[in-house]
């Protein structure tokens, strides 16, 4: 479980002459094995919040707890999937996927076996010995997902992981992620700009305001798991998508007028 209480983050220039408040008094709880999407205007602090939870950057005030313990930094209980894949170009796919296990001191035979199982699970069976440059963007993102899953984290932190993909590949990756989550549920925090993507994937959508990022509201997604056949054609899906878009558009217009 992730518990965030009154979290504020301020970025300062190197000389301290300028400050930008990225997050302001964020209160958020993500329950065990819940899939939560963070949605908001560009620059609202979604990625900043994710980096804080990952233990990659400090915050200025408030409390951040993981399973009741104060956050101290990165840990094996959390894994991050980035938008830009972040693969090692000099290493084959099997080595990329097994990298986290190698850092944990797992024996070579065991980590390679685990890597092969996950490569197959994300639909890349037969590409174990290939290199990232030989793979499409969607295939590289599958490698990034397999690498994150290899260390068996309790929580997946996904920072717009499908944002750089074409529409067709993005949709395939969304379906793959749904199937993986249904097969082995994990706590997921998913940053996105896409209203429909958030509705397809999440149990709850946390809607953030323009900078400084605050939580405007939380919306329960009324579709169960596994997702029912044709749920995207439901009027409820369309109505929620329209509501999210109109709310985000109104926030963007207000920001431009200020």
Give the range among 33-37, 47-51, 85-89, 209-213 with minimum mean pLDDT. Answer: 85-89
How far apart, in Å, are the Cα atoms of 106 and each of 21, 91, 138, 150, 156?
41, 18, 28, 11, 21
Q: Is the pLDDT of residue 254 over 80?
A: no
Does pLDDT of 110 surpass 70? yes
Residue range 179-193: mean pLDDT, rounded: 91
Enter the CATH code of domain 2-77+153-257: 3.40.50.300
Confidence bin at 95 (pLDDT 50/70/90): very high
Is the model's pTM score more than 0.85? yes
Per-domain residue ranges of the chain: 2-77+153-257, 87-152
Rounded mean pLDDT, 234-240? 94
Query: Which residue pairs from 169-172 have beta carbons closer than 8 angstroms and sit at least 24 positions apart in sequence?
Result: 169/136, 169/137, 169/138, 170/138, 170/197, 172/138
């Amino acid at each position: 479980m992730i518990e965030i209480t009154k979290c504020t983050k301020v970025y300062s220039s190197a000389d301290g002459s300028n400050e930008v408040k990225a997050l302001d008094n964020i209160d958020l709880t993500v329950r065990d094995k819940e899939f939560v999407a963070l949605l908001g205007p560009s620059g609202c602090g979604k990625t900043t919040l994710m980096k804080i939870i990952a233990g990659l950057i400090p915050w200025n005030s408030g409390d951040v707890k993981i399973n009741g313990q104060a956050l101290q930094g990165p840990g094996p209980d959390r894994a991050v999937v980035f938008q830009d894949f972040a693969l090692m170009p000099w290493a084959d796919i099997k080595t990329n996927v097994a990298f986290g296990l190698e850092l944990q001191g797992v024996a070579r035979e065991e980590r390679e076996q685990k890597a092969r199982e996950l490569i197959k699970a994300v639909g890349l069976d037969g590409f174990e010995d290939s290199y990232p440059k030989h793979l499409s963007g969607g295939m590289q993102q599958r490698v990034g997902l397999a690498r994150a899953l290899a260390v068996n984290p309790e929580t997946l932190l996904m920072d717009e992981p499908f944002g750089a993909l074409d529409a067709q590949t993005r949709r395939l990756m969304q379906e793959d992620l749904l199937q993986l989550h249904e097969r082995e549920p994990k706590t997921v925090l998913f940053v996105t700009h896409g209203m429909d993507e958030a509705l397809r994937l999440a149990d709850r959508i946390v809607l953030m305001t323009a900078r400084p990022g605050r939580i405007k509201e939380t919306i329960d997604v009324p579709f169960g798991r596994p997702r029912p056949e044709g749920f995207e054609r439901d009027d409820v899906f369309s109505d929620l998508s329209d509501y999210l878009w109109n709310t985000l558009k109104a926030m963007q217009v207000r920001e431009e007028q200020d």
